[in-house]
Every structure is written in C-alpha cells, then in structure tokens.
Structure 1
Amino acid sequence: MIETEHTELMEKLQTHFAGKIVRKDLTKKIKEGANVPVYVLEYLLGMYCSSMDEADIEAGVQNVKTILAENYVRPDEAQKIISKLREMGRYTVIDKISVKLNYKDDVYEAEFSNLGIKNVPIANKYAADYERLLCGGIWCIVQLEYFYDEGDKNRCPFVICKVTPIQMPSLDLEEVKAARAHFTDDEWLDLLLRSTGMEPSGFNKRVKCLHLARLIPLIENNYNLCELGPRGTGKSHVYKEISPNSILVSGGQTTVANLFYNMGSKTMGLVGMWDCVAFDEVAGIKFKDQDGVQIMKDYMASGSFARGKEEKNASASMVFVGNINQSVDTVLKTSHLFDPFPDVMANDSAFLDRMHCYIPGWEIPKYRPEFFTDDYGFITDYFSEIMRELRKISYADAYDQYFKLGNNLNQRDVIAVKKTVSGLVKLLHPDGNFTRESIEEILRFALEMRRRVKEQLKKIGGMEFYDVNFSYIDKENFNEEYVPVPEQGGGKLIPEGMGKPGHIYTVSHGKSGMIGVYKIEMQMSSGTGKFEKTGLGSDREAKEAVETAYRYLKANGKNISGTISTTTKDYLMHVQDLNGIGMTKMLTLPAVVAIASVALGKPSISSAVILGDLSIGGTIIKVEELANTLQVCLDSGAKKVLLPITSAADLGTVPAELMGCFNIIFYQSAEDAVFKALGVE
C-alpha cells in the first residue's frame, strides 16, 4: 500500500516538476566529500542527474564528482589551481566571490574566497546585475584566464571572462500553483520537508509544522523569528545550507554599517541584500555601535531605519537562533525563555515584543542519520526561487472568511499572527486554495507561536503584557476557542491540594527587584525553645525578618492558641527562593503563619499564597505592585490569596480578568492571618 502511494507520488512529481527534483541521497553522498553548500551541489545535480533512470543518474553523479574534483576550489589546493590556470591559460572554477569598488582606480575588484586571490578586475555589469556580490558574496561558476604582461608588472594577471551565479535562471509561479492542486495536503507538506533534506516519516505532524515554520522568514517579508532549543536540532541548517537568499551571521558580533547601511561608502548592509539575515548563537550578539539594538528595534517594527538624513527601507526577515542549556521546566521556574539573549536584548521588552514567532526548539528531536531523506525533493535552488517569488504576495487575511481574533490580542499580536498565517498558507497552499480545517490548524499554530512571546513578556514586563489568553472566534456559531502554550501547563510552583503543616508560600520582591515565589518549610521537635534557620545564606535582612516573626510569636502566641510553645519545642525553618531571583526580606508575616502551622499541626488551606508583611511594632504592611504580584501568583498556580486589608485600596489597579482568577481573603492582623490561612474559624 505504502509502495503504491509512493509510486503515485513519484509519477506526480515527474509529470509536474520534471527536471526540478533531485534524489536527496545523491546530495548527501557527494556532500560528505565536498564542503560546498547544498544549493551549489544541487545546481550541478539538477543539470546532470534529473533523470529517473539509474544508469543516467550514475553517469550524472560521476560527472558532478568530476566537476567538483577539478573545478571546485578547496582552500588547501588553491595554489595547485592557480598553477593549472597559469599553465593552461584558461580554467573554470567554482568558488564564492565577493566584489568591492576600488574608488581610487574606479574599478570593481573581485575576491575569491577559497582560491585566495583578490583585487581581480571584474566587469561593471556583474556588480550591477548581481548586487549580492557586493555584500558578502555568492557562489559562482567563473571562467578565468591568465595573462602576465611583462610591460605592466603591476597589472593583475587574472582575467574574469564569465561569471555564472549558481541560481535558477527563471521561474513560472503559475506553473507551481497549478501543480499544487494535484497533491494532497500531506503529500505537499512531506515534499517541502524532503526539499530541505529531512525525512518526514520520522516526525509527527506537530514536529513537521515546527520544521516548516523555520521557512517562514524565507517566504515572508520583514518576519522576525526566534528559535531557542538544545544543540543538534538543525536550528541554523535551513539558513546556511538551503537557500542562497539567506545569510547566517556566525559569532554574533556585527556593526550597524555591516547590517544596515554604511554611510561612508553609501551602500546598503545585509538587510538590503538578502531575504533573510539569521544570527547564530544569540548569546554572542554584540553591536560595536551604541545605537545598534535601537536601530534593529526600529527595523524589526517597521522594515525601515534612519541613517544620516534619510530613511531606508528593506524587506529582509530577522532570525535569532541559539541554545537553551537547561530543561524548559527549569528555565520557566527560574527565569524566562528569552534568557539566552544578551542582557541588552533579554531585558528589553520593546525589542522582544517585535518577535512574530517563537519556535519551541526543545520539541524538535536531536537529529539522527535516519532523519535525513533519501527520497526526491525539489532542487533547493528551485525551492528557494519559489519562496522568493511568493514574498511578493500576502495571504495575511486568509482566515477572515471563517474566523476572527479574540479581544486579548493587541495590534502587534494581530500583525504577528497574520504574518505567520500568511507564511504558512504560502508554503502549504501557494495557490490560495485551502479548507476550513486547514486554515483553522494554521491559525491555532500562529496564535500559539505569538502567545509564547507574550507569556515571556509578561514575566519580564509585568502588567503591561497581562492579556495573554489568545483566542479566535468562529464566525458561524460564535464559539470562542482559546489557544494554550504547551510548556505553560503543569509543573506549577504552588501545587494543588493540602500541603504539610508548616509549609507556606509567599510572593514578593527579591534582591534582584523581580517578583518571585518563596516557600517556607518548618520542622518542630522537643527541646528548649531553640530557633534555627537555613536557606537564607548571608542575607542579614531576611534573617532579621524571621527572627522578628519568632519573637512576635513568643510575645503573642497565646492570642492564637495556648498550645503554641516557644519553651519546650525547638523549631527549624528552611526558606527556598523558588525562582532563583535572590532572597526577599518580606518574610515576617509568612514566617509567623508557618511557625503557628507546624506548632498546631494544621496545614495551610490548599493552593494559597500569603501576601503582605508585619513590622517590628506589629503593624501590617501592604503589598507593593499588587497587580504584578497577583500576576506572579496566578502564573505560579495559586488559587487563594490572603491579602492585608490595607491593600484593598489598590485593587482598582488590578484588571478584572486577573481578579476573577482568585478567591481573595482579607486579614486585619497577624493573628487574623494565621486563623484564615489555617482555615480556623
């Protein structure tokens, strides 16, 4: 059955894409012996191995191997090739060449990456026709001649006769659209993945979609994408190997002149020359210029930036890939998912808010040999040209006929979701023909990818980003569907159900200024009234806060219960900083409740957090930044909140949606807090 389906698919490919497909195992076979980008290799395979006949393919592969052996320049063999060129007078090489203008002599000069020769004069028409030669360079097939002039020894002996960039000469997009109708949705999705070199049968539908999302920056203008995850999951592979229209900035250090606009030479930087600029290893991104991140923010929001006296426009997408070294659960508990970014970006909510999509790289399995396909896919160069042509159209309103977006999305969220929808529709349905089910699936995916960004912004920026409950509404029956983010579910810091006596949770500001969750655990044993504490390190203020709590109970314990003894029992307190943001000093009131809880053998009411504090004189202190504190309570799993009555006046600052998530219990004094926290009437 599977064999029959495969034969049918091959027939469709031969009928509609003859000469534009290649067997990906051939690419793999030759790639291992020649360090050339995939699109260079497949350009040659497309010329010589487009047949389905095994004998023709074998002959074609030998031909390609011969060309690569004789013409591809390996850096260690550069001198051998130069010697051959001198002896033969003419030689064809495959190399990456870049061009710059020598304005002293008013000539364009080429530099050969692997051959190692530079200042070779090149005709003006090549610089005009292929602008990307001027910015980073591109792979080309170059016919060279050697002529040494005895009369002019300063003249360069190398002569460039002909330059052929390794790219498809032309593309008929209407042909592609017409052909798409002959493939099922699953067949087309699998064909796209095989075109990038992956074997779809090794992945489930979710992982296939995540792989596909990596291609959106290549098919959508001004799309900002971020993917962080473990090593070895192919995060940068697409941007380095698959498309000649994208550039991978390795190492991270760059300048405004290189990336945006060089005011000295009046030339556009990378964003003007490439469809996609990807940054590898985001942790290392560093601008030599002070205003680098600011200009990048401006560009990511509008596709334009100001340099000098004028404003420049460009359409390149921005991609940020990097590694998360811990498990996602750990990262979510201790910081946020943008943490690997350099501080100047990770703490700038305005920069992060410009991300249209955050791919959860931790869901993609580490690559194994069987994940790479041996089947047929598009020649990568042809596939790249399809994506390049599709950048000119938009399907941003594709979902409008069936659905509308919920009211938690602001303008930036709507733009992000529309761009992701447009990109995925162009990839999966380039002809614009899709079913209601298909567009609903795409819309849900787009909402989730943007919500992941918003959830992290909420952790960093607080109440400004509290509206994260993304939804869409069916226009037929007005049902509202909410879209969750998988990693936000489960693993809450404050568990459901009854805890043990002496286990109390509180939320307050830590040493770093961030708001976090703190857990107090108490143990009691027979003794002489000793009070020991651990987990506080050398924090003097925190130690004083819990000492104050113990002294308060010594003096006022009988007002709570006659059974609380500070003379015949010893107490051990351990305080945990669950978010790793530094210890808090707001521990006196929670510590009073914790000591009373263990002394009475009564656990706290379930899923409860105690807010507020107690001064040395016994005065109740209200909660600072109440709305942000309650947001952290919600994210951490709290269902009930004990709040000092003095904070009632601040409830007007809390959004109604947030208030509705809790059972709020007010207390007036420390004793009242103990009774209500332990559920004692």
Structure 2
Amino acid sequence: MSDLDSKINEHFAGYVVRKDLVKAVKGNAIVPTYVLEYLLGQYCATDDEASIESGIETVKDILRKHYVHRSEAGLIQSTIKEKGRYKVIDQVSVSLNEKTDSYEAVFENLGIKKVAVDSGTVKAHPKLLVTGVWCIADVQYEFSEDHRISPWILEAIKPIQIAKVDYEGFKTARAAFSTEEWIDILMQSIGFNPDAFGHRSKLLQLMRLIPFVERNYNIIELGPKGTGKSHIYSEFSPHGQLISGGEVTVPKLFVNNSNGRIGLVGYWDVVAFDEFAGREKKANKALVDIMKNYMANKTFSRGVSPMGAEASFAFVGNTDHNVPFMLKNSDLFEALPAQFHDSAFIDRLHAYLPGWEVDVIRSEMFTSGYGFIVDYLAEILRHLRSEDFSNRADVFFKVSPQISTRDRDAIFKTLSGYLKLLFPDGGETEAEVEDLLRLAMESRKRVKDQLTRIDSTYPDVDFHYVGSDGAKRAVTTVEEEEFPQFYHLKPALDPKEQGSEDEVVDVGRGDTSEPVAALQGNSASGTPPQSKKLQPEEGHKVYAENRKGISYDMLFGPYTDGAQRIVVTDPYIRFYYQARNMMEFVEMVIRRKAPEDQVAVHLVTGPDDGNIAQQREFLESISTACLGSGVDFTWAFDTSGTAHARDIVTDTGWKIE
C-alpha cells in the first residue's frame, strides 16, 4: 500500500475499500458500482489481505446466489416457489393499483409483477414510487385459488445504501490530511489514479460531484466521446438518477397532473440527462419552459399550485467539432437541440465543464488504491447539501460589482460546492480559495461569454475579483487564451458563410498509435520545425493547465537548439501516456537538429515498482526507435530516490524546471 492508502485506512477504518475489488467481484452482473461497493463495504472494508480475500469470496457468493440475472429469472422464480421465501438483489419499482387499492411492485430482472407491498414499506421508501431502486428483498410465494390475488409477496426490502454516517467524525478525520492528499483520496474514491492527472484535471473531475453536494445546481458538460461524462451520475450515488435526454417527460420529471404524484425532482438529489446534445433532437416546448422556471426559481407549476424541489440538474453530451471550429463558426453550445439552444435556458446554467479538457479514459487511469465506499461518501455529500459555504471567500476576495446577481450566484454555488468537497471542516488558505474561486468564475464566464455570441442583448461582463492587496485580478478561460482570434467573434456566423470545417486546424491529441510506430514515422528527414525558432530568454512562463496548442517546440525548442547532450530528469515516466510525452520530446529534438548532428538525450526516472517490466518496455521502445535518427536516447533509474524535481539540462548551459 502507498502511504496515502495506509493513512486513509488509519483514519477511516471500515469506510474505505480497495477500488480494484469491484472488477474482481462484478463478473457479468449489470449493477451500479455503489451496489457492489455496498457489499464490499460489509465484508472487505479493511487492509488485511486475508480478510479481503475471504470477503471477496463472500461477496461473490452473495451475488452468485442472490443477484438476479435476466437469463436465470425462471430458475430464481422456481427457487422462491420451492422454498417459499428467498432473498434477491434486484431493481424494484412500486405503483398503486387503483382498482384494488393496493401497492404492487415490479422486479426488473426477476420479471415478476403485481408483487404485493404493504403501505408501511412504501411510506418508508417513497422513491420506489418514482423509479427503480436497487434493493435486497425477501420475496415470498403463496399460491391462491383466487386468480385476482398475486402469489408473489414482498416480505421485507432494504434499499442498498448505508444506514447512518458520523458526519462530525468525518470532519475531524479530514483534518489529518493535507489538501493535495484529500484531493487524491477523492480521486481514488471515484475510481481514478491521481498520479495520472494534473491539479486542474483533478478539480475538473471533482466538479462532477458538485451537483451531489449543492442544492439546485445546474451544470453542463459537453466534450468528446469516451471521457466518462455520465459515469458519475449512473454509478456513484444512490441519490442520483441518470436518464436519457430523449426519454424525459413533464410528468416523469416534475408532476403528474392526473394523480398529483411528484416526479424525479422531488425524490432525487441529482437528475442527469445523458446524451443531451444533438441538433436533430426535438424537445417538448412545455418541458423546456417548466425546466427553465425550475432552474431559475427552484419551483415548478402545472396549473395547480407551485411546488418546490432541491434536485440539481446535470446535462452531458458529445460535441461534433473541436473548440476552434465551434468558436469560429458558432458557439460552444452548438451541439444542443434547438429548443435548448436558447439564451434563457443557457443563462440558468451555473457552470460549463469543458469536456474537451478531460482525457479519454484509459486503463492506466484507474486506481488500485483505497478510496471511500461510494455509498458512505454519497451520504456525507448529501448531508452537506444543507450547508452554505459561499461566503467563505469574502474573507480574502471581493468579486467585481459589475457582475450580475445571477452570475454571482452561479460563481458562489460552484465555489461553495468545491469548499464542501475539499474543506468540510474549514481551514482553507487564501491561495487555496483563490484557486477554486478562479475556476468557479471561469466556469460561469464560459457560459456568459457564449451568451453574448448567441444573443446580442447580453452585455459583455468584466470577470475579475479584487484580492486582499487591493489589486484587480482578471479571469479568463483556457480557450480564450488559446484562441483569442476566434473567442471574441460575435455575432456567431453561419458555417456556410465562414467556410468548411477543413479550414480549421484540429488541435486535439492526434492519433493513439504505439510510441515506436509514431517515432519511427519521424526519423531524421530534415523536416522543418513546426514553430518559428524563437530566441531563448531567461524568465518564468505560466500556461494554464489543459491549454492545448502549446507544443514542445514552443516550450523547449529554442533552449535545446545546438545542444549535444540533454539530460531530462522526471521521476514519473511510467505509464504509456508519460512515455509518449517523452517520445514527443525526442521527436522535437530530431526535427530541430541539423541532419548531420548527433545529440544524446538521457532520461533519469524512477522505477514503477508495481509494473516495472512494462515501464522498461516503453523506454526501450523509444531507444530502439531512435536508431539511425541522429539522436541517441538512453535512460536510467534513480534508485536513490532523490530525483523528485523535474528539469531539463543542456550542455549549452540552459536549465528548464
């Protein structure tokens, strides 16, 4: 175990689980992560290997005996009949049969309907009336000659969620961790290896949790496919509900006028709309109007009496074009259906999470470390929904008075969510608050800047804040810094007038071929550098994390020109993407040097004790691919463990840190 794993087991004993165990027990069971971790939390919430192995077998046995596969539904029904009673794990929903004045349950996988449910069960678990809930249930079979009476009876039911948490104990234990340690714990809790992400990337991943901790919070994430946009909302919490954007109706989401039954917003903390994007999709105008009213006022009405709810909305979808194309030809909301590509709807979004900054999920991004049992963390976040941390920033900073009330509310809700996630016990520093405040303002600025392109009646807003020193500090978005020539275009022009998509350079990551193939395709062929050869200068340069379009040529090229030996020190060249970054640096040296020159590039890195064989393979593949290129690539492990800093040193006297 890592030091962090040991520490979290020490302070949160019984509430953490090794995250790779989910795959070990899941098999072909189509159940959310929180269901599996609920079971793992009962038997594997320990760091003792023997107990873990025993617990895994117990959980596997429970799933084997009691989880209902649709293909085995008939066998389980027979088992219930023969035994008279049997425990099952299934998704259960309940409805009222007005003809018989009784409640009836439907077991999704077991395939049985009209299961008798008593009123006390429904009152104790009202969510059953709205949608399917994963439960552990005892089902009885009692045959009756009266065909009107169903033989199936629900004897007992327990929704899969933790019963009680010690919130004060949680806050006390949080104080034992540094901010970076706590961020890494949250990353591991949602299943990711924190070493595979930068600081900003971690915060963007955690922004997806804000709807769970903040009431009536509206967030949108649009970006490329495969970045895990909907995973959090479907797998993370028993208090969230993921629905397809095209399947929602007014009665299902808000209230059914025929029976007065409230919809999803009344029972769930988060309602997420999957596959929300798509210009060709159609949305009911009445639904759009009632959604806009609810997002602005936390209330809704269908001609009877106004009702209130606390559910947050999350909208996730895929973009069709890259960022420069959208900025040049339309706007960052171009993928939304026409009915939602509406300034009044967009203005009610508190934050726009830039999905193009989130990497496509790869296998090395998943963690094998310890994190909170997601059900435990979900209950903590639900408890925090009743608190408001938005005024904590006032001690250090003042947001520009030019920013409207709606913009300020959006900024402070995002900030409050981050503070609840990272500092539930308080104790945040001025620098830490500023980091979160800037990201909260940027997330709202992205919404507001696009509104000025979509609707000319929206004025430009100067997003800035004033620090404790009285200095004004402006806030920009990453894409604003990266594409200033497109970012402030307005009004948005029709793509036919601007030209075809091919006229815009895609600044994405490029292909995902293996390092050897990619490098061998760039041998010393005299290919000119991609950027102008700028003169190297001493100084300190700052680039926003996740900003694209900043090539190695721009960063390092001028400082490596003319060098015959370059030493790169980086203790973390371990995963595929890290080896690829090293390979791209070598490619840059090959392109920039004269064909007749010979350059030695030496890497000093740390060994990956968990998978050193694969690490060696990656590094040797770079050495092999360099043969005949004029660059001699060598590498060595720093076994002393003293190489913690990252730097590049050339024999021409430059040092880049």
Q: Closer, same or farther in 2 for the Cα pair 1:425/1:579, shift >3 Å?
A: farther
Q: Secondary structure at the match of 2:316?
A: strand
What is aligned with 1:307?
A: 302
1:252-291 equivalence runs, <5 A:
252-283=246-277, 289-291=284-286
Please state how far the C-alpha of 1:130 moved relative to its aligned partner: 1.0
Amino acid at match of 2:466: I
1:41 matches 2:36: yes
TM-aligned CA distance change 1:362 to 1:290, over 3 Å? closer
Structure 2 equivalent of residue 197 of structure 1: 191
User: What corresponds to 2:26 in structure 1?
Assistant: 31
Contact 2:445 2:463 in 1 (8 A): yes
Q: Which residue of 2 aligns with 1:429?
A: 423
CA distance in 1, matches of 2:482, 2:381: 39
RMSD: 2.0
Mapping 1:578-597, distance limit 5 Å: none
Alpha-carbon distance in structure 2 between the residues aligned to 1:327 and 1:47: 45
Describe how 1:521-560 pairs up with structure 2 within 5 A: none
- Tell whether 2:336 aligns with 1:344: no
Pick closer, same or farther for the CA change 1:298–1:211 going to 2, 3 Å.
Answer: same
Judge conservation of contact 1:254–1:287 (CA < 8 Å) in 2. Answer: no
In the TM superposition, what whole-angstrom CA distance separates every residue of 1:160-218 from its partner, at most 9, and x where no partner exists? 11101101101121111111100110111111111111111100001000000000001
The residue number in structure 2 matching 1:145 is: 140
* AA aligned opposite 1:45: L
Q: Are 1:70 and 2:62 an aligned pair?
A: no
User: 1:245 and 1:15 mapped to 2: Cα distance?
Assistant: 28
Opposite residue 166 of structure 2, the aligned amino acid is: D
Q: 1:462 to 1:225 in 2, by over 3 A?
A: same
Equivalent residues of 1:253, 1:284 under 8 A apart: no
- C-alpha distance in structure 1 between counterparts of 2:268 and 2:282, whole Å: 19
User: What is the aligned partner in structure 2 of residue 92 from structure 1?
Assistant: 87
Residue 59 of structure 1: aligned partner = 54
Shift of 1:284: 5.3
Asked if 1:470 is matched to 2:391, the reply is: no
- Could you tell me whether the CA contact under 8 Å between 2:219 and 2:349 is conserved in 1? yes
**Contact kept? 1:253, 1:288, Cα under 8 Å:** no
Work out the CA distance in 1 between the residues paired with 2:146 and 2:78.
Answer: 21
CA contact (8 A) 1:252 1:284 kept: no
CA contact (8 A) 2:222 2:316 kept: yes
For 2:386 and 2:297, the matched residues in 1 are separated by: 17
* 1:103 counterpart residue number: 98
From 120, 127, 130, the equivalent of 1:135 is: 130
Distance 1:488 1:146 in 2: 64
The Cα offsets for residues 94-123 of structure 1, whole Å up to 9 and x where unpaired, read as: 001001111221111100111111111111
Per-residue displacement from partner, 1:453-482 (whole Å, max 9, x unpaired)? 011101101242322x300101x3210100
1:442-453 map, 5 Å = 442-453=436-447
Secondary structure of the 1:309 match is: coil
Of the candidates 153, 158, 165, which is equivalent to residue 171 of structure 1? 165
CA contact (8 A) 1:282 1:321 kept: yes
CA distance in 1, matches of 2:326, 2:131: 36
Alignment check: 8 A CA contact 1:516 1:579 kept: no
Q: TM-score, normalised by structure 2?
A: 0.73
C-alpha change, 1:282 and 1:13, in structure 2 (3 Å) is same
Deviation (angstroms), 1:126: 1.4
Change (3 A) 1:515 1:341: closer
Report the equivalent of 2:15.
Answer: 20
The CA deviation at 1:51 is 2.3
Q: Tell me, in whole angstroms, the C-alpha distance in 1 between the residues paired with 2:399 and 2:24.
A: 48
Q: Does 1:158 align with 2:79?
A: no
Determine the structure 1 residue equivalent to 2:498: 577
- Indicate the SS of the match to 1:80: helix
Q: Quote the Cα distance in structure 1 between the aligned partners of 2:199 and 2:486.
A: 33
What TM-score do you get using the length of structure 1 for normalisation? 0.71
**1:276-299 CA distances to partner (integer Å, 9 max, x unpaired)?**
000011125967743111110000
Matches within 5 A, 1:249-398: 249-283=243-277, 289-346=284-341, 348-398=342-392
- Helix, strand or coil: the match of 2:153? strand
Code of the residue aligned with 1:331 in structure 2: it is M
What one-letter code is carried by the residue in structure 1 that aligns with 2:16? I
| 1-structure distance, mates of 2:52, 2:13 | 14
How far is 1:16 from its partner?
Answer: 2.2
3-state SS of 1:489 partner: helix
Q: Are the aligned partners of 1:516 and 1:578 in contact in 2 as well (CA < 8 Å)?
A: no
Aligned residues: 499
> What is the match of residue 410 of structure 1?
404
SS for the counterpart of 2:36 is helix
- CA distance in structure 2 between the aligned counterparts of 1:36 and 1:515, rounded to whole angstroms: 44
Counterpart contact for 1:222–1:316, Cα < 8 Å: yes
Task: Tell whether the 8 Å contact from 2:300 to 2:308 is kept in structure 1 after alignment.
Answer: yes
- Return closer, same or farther for 1:108/1:322 CA change in 2, 3 Å cut-off: same
SS of equivalent residue, structure 2 residue 31: coil
Q: What secondary structure sits across from 1:416 in the alignment?
A: helix
Report what 2:589 is aligned to.
Answer: none
The 1-side partners of 2:399 and 2:47 are apart by 48
Counterpart-to-counterpart distance in 1, 2:240 and 2:22: 20
Distance 2:455 2:225 in 1: 29
Which structure is larger by alpha-carbon Rg, 1 or 2?
A: 1
3-state DSSP of counterpart to 1:119: strand
Match of 1:482 among 466, 474, 487: 474
Measured against aligned partners, the alpha-carbon deviations of 1:264-323 in whole angstroms (never above 9, x if no partner) come to: 111111100100000011125967743111110000001111222211000000010000
Identity %: 45
Question: How far, CA to CA, are the matches of 1:361 and 1:265 in structure 2?
Answer: 40
- Alpha carbons 2:246, 2:283 under 8 Å: kept: no
- Within 2, Cα distance between the matches of 1:74 and 1:246? 23
CA pair 579-446 structure 1, distance change in 2 beyond 3 A:
farther
Question: Retained in 2: the 8 A contact 1:287–1:293?
Answer: no
- State whether structure 2 residue 149 is matched by structure 1 residue 228: no
Distance in 2, matches of 1:287 and 1:162, equals 42
Does the alignment pair 1:248 with 2:169?
no
User: C-alpha offsets along residues 491-548 of structure 1, whole Å, 9 cap, x if unaligned?
Assistant: 45589xxxxxxxxxxx99xxxxx66499xxxxxxxxxxxxxxxxxx9xxxxxxxxxxx
Deviates more, 1:230-239 or 1:154-163: 154-163
Structure 1 residue 381, shift from structure 2 partner: 0.5
For 1:161 and 1:82, locate their aligned partners in 2 and report how far apart those are by CA, in whole Å: 15
| In 1: Cα distance, 2:70 partner to 2:96 partner | 25
Q: Is the 8 A contact 2:213 2:417 kept in 1?
A: yes
